[in-house]
Chain A
Amino acid sequence: MEVIRIISQRVGDILDYYFGSDMDVMSDDAKKIFSNKEDRQKYIDAVEELRKENKKEVEITLSNKETVTLIS
């Protein structure tokens, strides 16, 4: 069942990429971040840090080892 779920998810992703209209008010990358509790908190903290401390950029490392650099 897990295999079917993985395949159907990928099929959905590909169909959505080619035929869906990207109109959400949150980017796809952000949606991935927000779907992971740990990454979500890191992101929110980084945004707060960027705004409060008036920094030029703040880099966070996500749970999948990818880095995201927020800039003001």
Chain B
Amino acid sequence: MGKEYTISSIIIVVWLIFPGVVFKRFYFQGQFTKQFGVGLFADRLITSIFWGIPVQIATFLIYSRVLNFTFTGIEKNIQEFYEQLSENKFPLISYSTLEYILGYLVCLIITAATLGGICHRIVRIFKVDLKWPVFRFNNHWHYYFRGEVLNTKEFKALKTGKWHTTIVDVVINDGTEGNKMIKGYLTQYTISHKTGDLESLYLTDTMRYSKSQKQYVRVPGDCFVVLYEHVIDMNLLYNQIKPNLNVRQIIRVIFNIVGFLAFIYILIFPWYLNIRVLNKIFGSMTAMITWLFFLVVISFAIDPSSNKKMTKQALIGCLVIGSVFLFFTLVFFKIMPWIS
């Protein structure tokens, strides 16, 4: 009985908790990364198992589709494998089966990371976390510092345009006589790894209030660091701009959407081709590089850099690199079989 429990525990850890942990690692990214390791152990364990289940289902569906097998087809093998393990015997597996298992583990990690990243993107792009507090990340400072609170019902009245920068006004007590008033453009901030509390603010173009001159005067230096423990009061000023959609910006938006759709197509298309798995993998990799360099070519056409001569050379260089990788992509995908 005890032995069975141990094997079950290993299976749960490898097949459910681990992908769940990878999923969460990629879901809590950027300024929300600290939320990944915060909270009760039991809480983290349960959420990891919870996210591990859909990741496992998605991985199995993708893997079985790619390698053309069904659950009922491999059920007997799994059962034999489990029985041998529970009898404390080393399971007899062939080299090809081992390859399948390791391949599945790699696919599991990639799927977990991809799903985590996609979920994060969906929540952020569609402002799901701002509309429904249940999806909100723990780092509430981020919503205030980026002016995202202007999109919430409570602050909607203050939104006049598109958020551009944030000016921070702080009253600090540094232990000397009297308090100091400082203001500057917020460029970065840090929060505590353990508690998630604000630790420091990094300001540029900083000014301090001069009591003698009765006005703000410039503080010499490039970056002013404010330790939050010295802050008494903090006031945020959001600089907003009028969103002006000119022709170039519309073209940029279309370009980004087309680029994204092409990326999705490249991800899906190879798996419908009747070629070897290795061809699909290498073909996808070269297709990604082709995609990237053709996007660079188009971006040069839309947004040429200030040096026209260099732009032309860079454009030709990218075209050559893109074409070379396009050739390899076609070869790997056997779209040009007379060459392969």
Question: A residues touching B (Cβ–Cβ < 8 Å)?
Answer: 2-3, 6-7, 10-11, 13-15, 17-19, 21, 23-27, 29-30, 34, 40, 44, 47, 50-51, 57, 64, 67-72
Contact, CB under 8 Å: B189 / A25: yes
Q: Mark B138-164, 1 if CB is under 8 A from A, else 0.
A: 000010011000000000000011111
Contact, CB under 8 Å: B292 / A71: no
B86 close to chain A: CB less than 8 A: no
Contact, CB under 8 Å: A18 / B260: yes
B48 close to chain A: CB less than 8 A: no
B210 close to chain A: CB less than 8 A: no
Instruction: Select one of A3, A6, A34, A69 contacting B242, CB under 8 A.
Output: A69
Q: Mark B105-128, 1 if CB is under 8 A from A, else 0.
A: 000000000000100110010000
- For A26, A44, A69, the residue with the greatest tally of chain B CB atoms inside 10 Å of its CB is A26
* Nearest residue, chain B, Cβ from A15: B292
Contact, CB under 8 Å: A68 / B300: no
Please report the total number of B residues contacting A with Cβ < 8 Å.
51
Supplied contacts A18-B259, A25-B188, A29-B164, 19 more A-B pairs, CB within 8 Å: A7-B318, A14-B295, A14-B296, A14-B299, A17-B256, A18-B260, A18-B263, A21-B30, A21-B121, A23-B30, A23-B142, A25-B166, A27-B162, A40-B205, A64-B306, A70-B240, A70-B242, A71-B242, A72-B240
Give Cα A47–Cα B30 distance, bound, in whole angstroms.
29
Which stretch in B6-14, B225-233, B272-280, B307-315 binds the other chain? B307-315
Write the nearest CB–CB distance from A57 to chain B, whole angstroms.
7
B241 close to chain A: CB less than 8 A: yes
B170 close to chain A: CB less than 8 A: no
Instruction: Select one of B31, B117, B259, B314 contacting A7, CB under 8 A.
Output: B314
* Nearest residue, chain B, Cβ from A50: B239
Contact, CB under 8 Å: A21 / B124: yes
Contact, CB under 8 Å: B310 / A6: yes
Sample (19) of A-B pairs whose CB atoms are under 8 Å apart: A2-B310, A3-B317, A6-B311, A7-B296, A7-B318, A10-B300, A14-B259, A18-B260, A21-B121, A24-B188, A27-B163, A30-B165, A44-B185, A44-B205, A50-B239, A51-B237, A57-B242, A64-B306, A70-B242
CB-CB < 8 A to B244: which residues of A? Answer: 67, 69
Contact, CB under 8 Å: A10 / B299: yes
Give Cα A64–Cα B225 distance, bound, in whole angstroms.
31
Write the nearest CB–CB distance from A47 to chain B, whole angstroms.
6
Contact, CB under 8 Å: B160 / A72: yes
* Nearest residue, chain A, Cβ from B243: A69
CB-CB < 8 A to B64: which residues of A? Answer: none
Q: Say whether, besides A14-B295, A67-B244, A47 and B239 are in contact (CB < 8 Å).
A: yes
CB-CB < 8 A to A25: which residues of B? Answer: 145-146, 166, 186-189
* Nearest residue, chain B, Cβ from A46: B239
Q: Say whether, besides A47-B167, A68-B241, A21 and B314 are in contact (CB < 8 Å).
A: no
Give Cα A52–Cα B256 distance, bound, in whole angstroms.
39
Q: Say whether, besides A23-B30, A71-B161, A7 and B187 are in contact (CB < 8 Å).
A: no
CB-CB < 8 A to B314: which residues of A? Answer: 3, 6-7, 10
Contact, CB under 8 Å: B296 / A11: yes
- For B145, B164, B310, B317, the residue with the greatest tally of chain A CB atoms inside 10 Å of its CB is B164
B204 close to chain A: CB less than 8 A: yes
CB-CB < 8 A to A15: which residues of B? Answer: 292
Interchain residue pairs A-B with the least CB separation, the first 10: A23-B30, A69-B242, A21-B30, A25-B145, A23-B31, A6-B314, A30-B165, A10-B296, A71-B161, A3-B313
CB-CB < 8 A to B124: which residues of A? Answer: 21
Contact, CB under 8 Å: B189 / A21: no
- For A10, A11, A64, the residue with the greatest tally of chain B CB atoms inside 10 Å of its CB is A10
CB-CB < 8 A to B306: which residues of A? Answer: 64
CB-CB < 8 A to B32: which residues of A? Answer: 23
